[in-house]
Chain A
Amino acid sequence: MSQFLSSPIMHNIFAGLAQGVIYSLVALSLVIIWQSTHVLNFAQGAMAMFASYVGMTEIDRGLNYWLCLVLSIFVGLLFGGFTERVLIRPLYGKPEINAIVVTVGFLGVLEAVAQAVWTSTTRNIATPLSQIYFHNQGRLVLLSPFVIFQFALAIVIMLFVAGLFRFTDLGLQLRASALAPEVARLLGVRVNRMLTIGWMLSAAVGTVAATIVASGSFGLYPSDMDGILIAGFIAAVVGGLESPVGAVIGGLLIGLAEQFILSYWSADLAPLGGIILLVVVLMLRPQGLFTKSVSRRV
């Protein structure tokens, strides 16, 4: 057993999944707002980066790591709500290019402001959990307390989102607002408020991913979510953009694909894992892996 956990293939699987859950969270956050507002938010990664800067750098002022994490997520919530109210709401009913352009512009503003305020130097956030990999009978296992926490946090967030949508009154109203906004309005659901809440929720989920990135080995820097947003987007498309489960699985698949390319081909080409997966999926099943209806709006 111990030998198995230390085998090269398990190394790759652990490392791939550790990166994959980050993509999964971003993909999930994109799906949440895609379902409700049909906006693909290109600033999703930058918003999460920004919120994690605001929250995580409080560690400099002696704030406890866990409180920084909570603060980041809270800032993410507010940020998501603000974005929907101020930037996105005027665009409902306009051509979809308008929302794309505005979110791309927002991405530019956020990264430039982050560089202006915090500089582009990478910051490493000290976590109370060790990032040193376990050893099992002298053999390396590519898991550390931090990686296990990362998996646990991601799973908790995903279960929370799933539970919220599936079992609560708020979730039911969120789903109804996304599926049939006019009917929901006729039934007294405050749809505008639901759209704002959807964006808040989505931004918070994205922020969780950003805090994991910031705490990990790559650290926190203004463009740290660029590549992750692209991978998250691809994961969401691979999953069908309508399916939260598909988004999560898509993210894990991309993490694994990148890791296997890195191990067996070239480290430089690892970022192509997602694109290769995307092209394969688009060729074989253009509506995405997990979409039930064939007539997807593409």
Chain B
Amino acid sequence: MIRVEHLTVNYGAINALSDVSFEANPGRVTAVLGANGAGKSTLLRAISGLVAPKSGDIFLGERSILSMATENIARLGVAHVPEGRGVIHELTIEENLRLGAFASEVDVRAGLERQYELFPVLGDRRKKYCSTLSGGERQMLAMARALISDPKVLLLDEPSLGLAPQVTSELMNLILELCHANDLTVVLVEQNAKSALRISHDAVVLHLGTVVASGDADTIANDKNLRHYYLGLVQ
């Protein structure tokens, strides 16, 4: 569904991504792993058109979305939950959700009801400002806002950041559930490799902007060298 080919991104003189290729498919969670500064966020930002790649190509289905405007990529059904969740604190919960619905033709009211059913905690406080929400609730809101437009692709940037282990675990289960239920293509960027690999089907490991490994998530999870050098997982 999302196919990245030989992508190279530079920030001035700094090489953020070089020759990165990978594929993410519907109904599967693809984890993008790596240490801080590996280029994970840059990869998602390039897919959403927030940074302009130097070379390479990005396909949504058969269509190249390279050099398309961010808002048009979003309107094609690519929902991107940015790092830090991107919840707008000065707006109410319902306003944040309504905002998510502009990317598609879905009926706003029906969409809202659907999300309130999925996330009852949001429905109870729909008129409250987002500054009143906890970190976990904000992540729920960001997810709901992404899902309301009925996307084909869900890009998640560090969703577990700042969440308690218990909440992270619930969140990961939810991601997997949503992926299966909606036949979503999920690209999950995580530093927390352990939680991400638990629910992923495929995985890509980035190191300093290059792909050092990619393939089946279980295989990567069991590769001793990868675990040790790149994923920070010790037995």
Query: Looking at the complex, which of A15-23, A114-122, A183-191 is the stretch in contact with chain B?
Result: A183-191
Q: Does A176 sit at the interface, judged by CB under 8 A? A: yes
Residue among B75, B82, B88 making CB contact with A188, cutoff 8 Å: B75
Residue among A169, A175, A179, A182 making CB contact with B102, cutoff 8 Å: A169
- Residues of B bordering A, CB below 8 Å: 48, 50, 69-71, 74-75, 79-80, 82, 86, 88, 90-91, 95, 98-100, 102-104, 145, 149
A172 touching B50, Cβ below 8 Å: no
Interfacial chain A residues near B145, Cβ < 8 Å? 187
Give B146's nearest chain A residue, CB to CB: A187
Q: How far is the CB of B218 from chain A (nearest CB, A)?
A: 32
Interfacial chain A residues near B80, Cβ < 8 Å? 186
Alpha-carbon distance A185/B48, docked complex (angstroms): 9
Alpha-carbon distance A104/B86, docked complex (angstroms): 35
A182 touching B98, Cβ below 8 Å: no
Q: How far is the CB of A288 from chain B (nearest CB, A)?
A: 16
Secondary structure type dominating chain A contacts: helix
**A/B pair count, beta carbons within 8 Å:** 59
Q: How far is the CB of A157 from chain B (nearest CB, A)?
A: 24
A187 touching B103, Cβ below 8 Å: yes
Alpha-carbon distance A239/B10, docked complex (angstroms): 43
Task: Enumerate the 4 nearest inter-chain pairs by beta-carbon distance, A residue then B residue, closest first.
Answer: A188-B103, A188-B74, A183-B86, A185-B70
Interfacial chain A residues near B98, Cβ < 8 Å? 169, 172
A187 touching B102, Cβ below 8 Å: yes
Between-chain CB contacts (< 8 Å), 13 pairs: A172-B95, A179-B90, A182-B82, A183-B88, A184-B99, A185-B50, A186-B70, A187-B100, A187-B145, A188-B149, A189-B71, A190-B71, A191-B71
Q: Does A144 sit at the interface, judged by CB under 8 A? A: no
Interfacial chain A residues near B70, Cβ < 8 Å? 182, 185-186
Alpha-carbon distance A232/B218, docked complex (angstroms): 64
A180/B86 contact (C-beta < 8 A), A185-B70, A188-B102, A189-B99 known: yes
